[in-house]
Amino acid sequence: MSQSNIRFPKKFMWGASTSAHQVEGGQHNQWTVWELDNAKSLAARAPYHYEDLDSWSRVREQATTPSNYVSGRAVDHYNRYADDFDLLTQLNLNTFRFSIEWSRVEPEQGKWDAAAIEHYRDYLKALEARNITPVVTLFHFTLPVWFSELGGFEKRRNVKYFQNYVEKIITELGQHMKYIVTINEPEVYAAQSYHEGNWPPQRRSRWLTWRVLENQIAAHAQASRFIRTKSRKYQVSMAYSVSHVYAGDDALLSRWYARVFDELANHYVLRRSMRHNTYIGLNYYFSDRIYGYRVHNPNDELSDLGWDMQPQDIRYVLEDLSDRYNKPILITENGLADAEDESRQWWLTETIRAMHRARENGVNLLGYLHWSLLDNFEWDKGFWPKFGLVSVNRNTQERTIRPSARGYARVVSSVTKE
Ligand code: BGC
């Protein structure tokens, strides 16, 4: 990209994101229980879901093998985190988002695992030693088994258990933190687990979808109140999944439905939780083009997962969020599944240009965290989608920096000026 006119301030947060379950390995939570029960059927149903994808011939073998759907040792980040942090340094990145695994810290209700807490203390110190700012997520789709057996976020009375966990983490580890994401993508979690029925506990009910959303909003409010009372240094948000919604034609119906869709899919949770945020955590992956009552995307450029790629549209999301809510924004996730690394460099370039334009138009943008640092476990799709700046050979656990990541590192150092 021509960077001569593109500038980002020295304090801009450049980084990458992960979540515990997707990289750590060795988990025991509601997801691992579900994976073991469902690996065979997920593998058997893979052709039905993915055989139309351009990537299918490449991924078929992995996608039809049950072990693909079991997180197992994942990419062993639990043991290899120090080396992984060195990769961040090599890539000129100053920020890292990760999640703390609640099921490790509180494996039984009310019983805290001191060794697990110590692990995360060492982990945070290892980031500190490298001058890397942590962005800490407290709940990223995985729950202790005991909590999900009590009904998880389906029940309002269970919110207190999440609050106990939050208080424990802040009390023990808060001195090493500033940026906190209480809950990752509450709307995606509620929709996938309780509406689409794709994720555990695979219960399909409109009532439960709504309850789980509301209870996460309540959990966020309580957590944020506690955290901000402890210290004003903390910056708190959820990470919201927001798409750019636009009408594909001038028809009244398309324009009207685009507005309704945007309000429901993107702004319901944002509006209900905004007063408990000091910033906005934004996860942006795609746009939704509306024709009539349907999402119908151009699909000119597709990622390995078949997602329509419109990286430049992040600009509209940034400007809209900034206009509506007037808070600083941190891009907590953004990226694509691209095993061959064909489009990632282009994606990053387009995104950085769009961020620059949004900043010129007055958006207070704190930083950009690419999803993901490492190839990882992509939930019900398992390991075949490759989102990493760094690829991982899971037989040897060897890490290889992808060419696009080197490009990202070069851009970061050339656009960052006083
Ligand atoms: C989630 C990540 C996931 C990514 C790509 C987000 O919805 O927070 O955990 O890997 O999207 O699908």
Q: Give the span between the Cα atoms of 177 and 196, in whole angstroms.
A: 35
Instruction: State residue 60's pLDDT score.
Output: 97
Residue 21 CA to ligand 1 center (angstroms) comes to 11
Q: Is residue 3 predicted with pLDDT exceeding 90?
A: no
Place of tokens 């994942």: 74
pLDDT band at 4 (very low <50, low <70, confident <90, very high): low
Q: Give the span between the Cα atoms of 195 and 204, in whole angstroms.
A: 5
Does ligand 1 have an atom closer than 6 angstroms to the CB of 192?
no
Does ligand 1 have an atom closer than 6 angstroms to the CB of 188?
yes
132-181: pLDDT as tens digits: 999 999 999 999 999 999 999 999 999 999 999 999 999 999 999 999 99
Contacts of 186 (CB under 8 A, 6+ apart): 212, 213, 216, 217, 220, 238, 240, 269
Does ligand 1 have an atom closer than 6 angstroms to the CB of 283?
yes
pLDDT band at 416 (very low <50, low <70, confident <90, very high): confident
Averaged over 96-100, what is the pLDDT?
99
- Residue among 344, 350, 332 at smallest CA distance from 389: 344
Best substitution site from 31, 183, 375, 378 to test ligand 1's pocket, by max atoms within 8 Å of Cβ?
A: 378
pLDDT band at 2 (very low <50, low <70, confident <90, very high): low
Beta bridge partners of residue 330, listed in sequence order: 281, 367
3-state secondary structure of 218: helix
CB 138 within 8 A of CB 194: no
* Nearest residue (CA) to ligand 1, atom 12: 378
- Residue among 34, 39, 37 at smallest CA distance from 64: 39
Instruction: State residue 96's pLDDT score.
Output: 99
**Which value, to the nearest 10 degrees, does the dihedral of the CA atoms of residues 356, 140, 202, 158 take?**
-130
DSSP conformational letter for 374: B
* Nearest residue (CA) to ligand 1, atom 10: 378
288-300: pLDDT as tens digits: 999 999 999 999 9
101-119: pLDDT as tens digits: 999 999 999 999 999 999 9
Helix (H) / strand (E) element for 133: namely: strand 133-139
Q: Give the span between the Cα atoms of 7 and 418, in whole angstroms.
A: 9
Atom of ligand 1 nearest to the CA of 372: 10
pLDDT band at 268 (very low <50, low <70, confident <90, very high): very high
Helix (H) / strand (E) element for 9: namely: strand 8-9
Tokens of 326: 């007037």
β-pairing verdict for 280-284 and 244-247: unpaired
Q: Give the span between the Cα atoms of 290 and 158, in whole angstroms.
A: 38
Give DSSP secondary structure letters for 246-304: EESSS-HHHHHHHHHHIIIIIIHHHHHHGGG-SSEEEEE--EEEEETTEE----SSB-T
Residue 81 CA to ligand 1 center (angstroms) comes to 20
Q: Give the span between the Cα atoms of 214 and 272, in whole angstroms.
A: 9
Helix (H) / strand (E) element for 104: namely: helix 102-105
Instruction: State residue 1's pLDDT score.
Output: 56
Instruction: Give φ, ψ of 36 to 5 degrees.
Output: -65, -35
Instruction: Give φ, ψ of 76 to 5 degrees.
Output: 55, 35
Instruction: Give φ, ψ of 367 to 5 degrees.
Output: 180, 180
Amino acid in the structure at residue 334: N
61-90: pLDDT as tens digits: 999 999 999 999 999 999 999 999 999 999
Domain count, the chain: 1
Q: Give the span between the Cα atoms of 342 and 345, in whole angstroms.
A: 7
CB 183 within 8 A of CB 216: yes
Q: Give the span between the Cα atoms of 262 and 288, in whole angstroms.
A: 9
- Domain of 101 in residue numbering reads as 3-415
Does ligand 1 have an atom closer than 6 angstroms to the CB of 240?
no
Does ligand 1 have an atom closer than 6 angstroms to the CB of 378?
yes
Q: Is residue 417 predicted with pLDDT exceeding 80?
A: no
294-347: pLDDT as tens digits: 999 999 999 999 999 999 999 999 999 999 999 999 999 999 999 999 999 999
CATH of the domain at 15: 3.20.20.80
pLDDT band at 5 (very low <50, low <70, confident <90, very high): confident
Beta bridge partners of residue 334, listed in sequence order: 284
6-39: pLDDT as tens digits: 999 999 999 999 999 999 999 999 999 999 999 9
Helix (H) / strand (E) element for 42: namely: helix 30-50
343-370: pLDDT as tens digits: 999 999 999 999 999 999 999 999 999 9
